[in-house]
């Protein structure tokens, strides 16, 4: 998930989020913005964990100008299902007396560190707030969490500039007795973890070298609480089954993780990335169709198409709103005139979001997510293809996607129509998704090509967005909104015309033979 998910956070870095009273299940309507937005703002955190021995002391660590060491002792109760569904997703739900509830919406390892996005909610220890259960519903399904582990923490903390250094000794308690211990040093920051180079060098001088992304809960409880939905590792010898499974697992995991951010609601990227996950999944089913059971793939494509449409209704309205508001501000339009024009679009977006939220709260949607995850974990592969080398079998399918794109692009005249460019954009997107599915197998080659396809997709996407915006604005060419609509329509037509040529720059780079040397 990486960089994409990093954009789906509110400002605030590593500071504590605003907290809002929550309610236990069955306690009536959720407070505040509960049905539309989570009552708390999400916070992104990034940390590097290093295991240490019993002899390690934080005072031995020397680097930078350090603040006073603070020592804290506290207990946390981690809630999960009996089969540790939250832990399987690197999500979490924990209670700390005096601090309330922390809901980890998503977590993932990235380049040696571990990133997480969480929301803090108030509430007593008897039961999780209703809002917490709503946000985690994509992970939990119909299961209910219960107390799964009680942990005792002894933490020594120092701060060097924006980097926090924490030595933690964490014990698993059973009947108030410590039965397992974990000892770590954590370097902690906000969205961007800076200043780690000197800190890691100082730790190396003390013999602390190895980092870990294994969750504390896994270390203490055991494999039952291990993450199950991290990326699978592939290489050039991987089979068709391993490669297709890894791709579909990745897309389904993105869909489920982004549902938590979609439900939290403060950043539109949650909806955008959930929609992208649906599109990638459906595109993979089409690209890899020759090695899949046809009926299985088509049924899954149709089911995901319905969800993608509901996500798209919200996302398209949000994109159009952001685009037109920015254009209105650039042209100095009066805010009142802008809001009169965009009021109906706001209503459309609100209705679409309400419909999407209703859908995500239904048993049918939860069952759909379960079916999608099951399909990703055990795809309907043709037996004769499953154990074949991915490079030999899937590479020609990707090459076929590229040939379709190349034929379409080279067949366009000097003045392509808007619908021709839109079709080219769709083929570009499909080709890009197919290429990216081979990145875990082949590495840098398809990654570079995928980046160039992304640049072409962006250029064509901007042209298409301008066309869509112009079509929407034409509805308001009369009456009190006519002036504002006319100004913005002119802006969008200029952008659409410019876009007819702008796409040729990334296309010229993409079509060079050397960009496809790996294929």
Tell me if residue 156 falls in helix, strand or coil: strand
* Range 228-244 average pLDDT: 95
Q: How far apart are CA 510 and CA 519, in angstroms?
A: 13
* Range 478-488 average pLDDT: 90
Q: What 3 state SS string does 404-469 have?
A: HHHHHHHCCCCCCCHHHHHHHHHHHHHHHHHHHCCHHHHCHHHHHHHHHHHHHHHHHHHHHHHHHH
Cβ atoms of residues 434 and 398 within 8 Å: yes
Query: Quick one: what percent of the chain has pLDDT higher than 70?
Result: 92
Q: What are phi and psi of 340, to 5 degrees?
A: -60, -40
What CATH code would you report for 240-377+387-516?
A: 1.40.20.10
Could you report the per-residue pLDDT of 10-61, keeping only the tens digit for each? Answer: 333 333 333 333 333 333 333 333 344 455 688 899 999 999 999 999 888 8
Q: Evaluate if residue 488 carries a pLDDT over 90.
A: yes
Q: How many CA atoms lie within 13 A of 90 on its CB side?
A: 22
Q: Evaluate if residue 497 carries a pLDDT over 60.
A: yes
Q: How many CA atoms lie within 13 A of 507 on its CB side?
A: 20
pLDDT of residue 39: 58
User: Judging by beta carbons within 10 Å of its beta carbon (0-12, 13-18, 19+), is residue 356 exposed, middle or buried?
Assistant: buried
Could you report the per-residue pLDDT of 84-138, keeping only the tens digit for each? Answer: 999 999 999 999 988 999 999 999 998 878 999 999 999 999 999 999 999 999 9
Cβ atoms of residues 161 and 183 within 8 Å: no
User: Domain residue spans in the chain?
Assistant: 2-225, 240-377+387-516
Name the token pair of 138: 């994509």
Cβ atoms of residues 164 and 147 within 8 Å: no
pLDDT of residue 111: 80
Q: How far apart are CA 90 and CA 109, in angstroms?
A: 9
pLDDT of residue 124: 94
- CA–CA distances in Å: residue 499 to residues 120, 296, 488: 44, 39, 16
Mean pLDDT value across the chain = 89
pLDDT of residue 105: 93
pLDDT of residue 168: 96
pLDDT band with cut points at 50, 70 and 90 for residue 492? very high
Residues 6 or more apart in contact with residue 212 via CB below 8 angstroms: 49, 50, 51, 184
Could you report the per-residue pLDDT of 154-191, keeping only the tens digit for each? Answer: 999 988 878 899 999 999 999 999 999 999 999 998 88
End-to-end Cα, the chain, rounded Å: 25
pLDDT band with cut points at 50, 70 and 90 for residue 217? very high
Residue 463: count of CB within 10 angstroms of its CB: 25
CATH 2.40.320.10 matches 2-225? yes
Q: How far apart are CA 235 and CA 442, in angstroms?
A: 7
Residue 181: count of CB within 10 angstroms of its CB: 13
The candidate with the shortest Cα–Cα distance to 503, out of 464, 468, 470, is 464
The more confident residue out of 486 and 20 is 486
Could you report the per-residue pLDDT of 396-455, keeping only the tens digit for each? Answer: 999 999 999 999 999 998 889 999 999 999 999 999 999 999 999 999 999 999 999 999
The candidate with the shortest Cα–Cα distance to 441, out of 231, 279, 252, is 231
Residue 212: count of CB within 10 angstroms of its CB: 16
Query: Quick one: what percent of the chain has pLDDT higher than 90?
Result: 77
Q: How far apart are CA 335 and CA 342, in angstroms?
A: 10
């Amino acid at each position: 998930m990486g960089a994409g998910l990093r954009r789906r956070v509110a400002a605030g870095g590593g500071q504590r989020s605003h907290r809002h009273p929550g309610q236990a299940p069955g306690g009536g309507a959720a407070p505040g913005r509960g049905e539309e937005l989570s009552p708390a703002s999400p916070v992104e955190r990034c940390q590097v964990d290093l295991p240490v021995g019993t002899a390690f002391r934080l005072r031995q660590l020397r680097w930078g100008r350090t603040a006073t060491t603070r020592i804290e002792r506290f207990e946390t109760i981690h809630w999960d299902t009996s089969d540790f569904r939250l832990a399987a997703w690197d999500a979490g739900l924990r209670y700390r007396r005096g601090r309330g509830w922390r809901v980890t919406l998503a977590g993932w390892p990235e380049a040696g560190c571990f990133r997480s996005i969480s929301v803090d909610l108030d509430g007593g220890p008897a039961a999780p707030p209703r809002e917490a259960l709503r946000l985690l519903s994509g992970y939990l399904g119909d299961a209910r969490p219960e107390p799964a582990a009680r942990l005792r923490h002894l933490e020594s903390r120092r701060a060097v500039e924006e980097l926090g250094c924490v030595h933690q000794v964490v014990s698993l308690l059973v009947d108030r007795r410590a039965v397992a211990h974990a000892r770590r040093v954590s370097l902690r920051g906000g969205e961007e973890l800076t200043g780690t180079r000197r800190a890691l060098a100082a730790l190396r001088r003390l013999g602390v070298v190895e980092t870990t992304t294994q969750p504390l809960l896994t270390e203490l409880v055991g494999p039952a609480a291990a993450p199950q939905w991290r990326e699978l590792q592939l290489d050039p010898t991987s089979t068709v089954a391993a490669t297709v499974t890894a791709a579909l697992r990745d897309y389904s995991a993105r869909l489920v993780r982004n549902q938590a951010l979609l439900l939290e609601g403060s950043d539109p990227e949650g909806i955008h990335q959930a929609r992208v996950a649906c599109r990638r999944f459906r595109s993979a089913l089409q690209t890899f169709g020759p090695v899949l059971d046809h009926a299985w793939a088509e049924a899954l494509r149709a089911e995901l198409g319905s969800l993608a449409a509901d996500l798209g209704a919200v996302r398209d309205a949000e994109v159009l709103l952001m685009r037109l508001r920015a254009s209105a501000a650039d042209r100095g339009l009066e805010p009142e005139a802008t809001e009169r024009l965009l009021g109906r679009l706001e209503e459309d977006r609100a209705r679409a979001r309400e419909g999407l939220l209703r859908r995500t709260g239904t048993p049918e949607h939860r069952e759909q997510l379960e079916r999608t995850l099951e399909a990703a974990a055990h795809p309907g592969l043709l037996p004769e293809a499953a154990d074949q080398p991915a490079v030999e079998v899937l590479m020609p399918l990707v090459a076929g996607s590229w040939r379709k794109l190349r034929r379409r692009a080279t067949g366009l005249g000097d003045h392509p129509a808007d619908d021709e460019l839109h079709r080219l954009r769709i083929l570009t997107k499909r080709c890009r998704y197919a290429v990216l599915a081979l990145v875990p197998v082949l590495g840098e080659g398809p990654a570079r090509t995928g980046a160039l396809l992304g640049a072409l997709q962006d250029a064509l996407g901007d042209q298409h967005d301008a066309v869509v915006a112009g079509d929407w604005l034409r509805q308001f060419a009369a009456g009190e909104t006519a002036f504002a609509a006319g100004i913005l329509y002119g802006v969008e037509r200029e952008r659409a015309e410019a876009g007819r040529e702008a796409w040729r720059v990334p296309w010229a780079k993409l079509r060079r033979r050397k960009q496809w040397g790996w294929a």
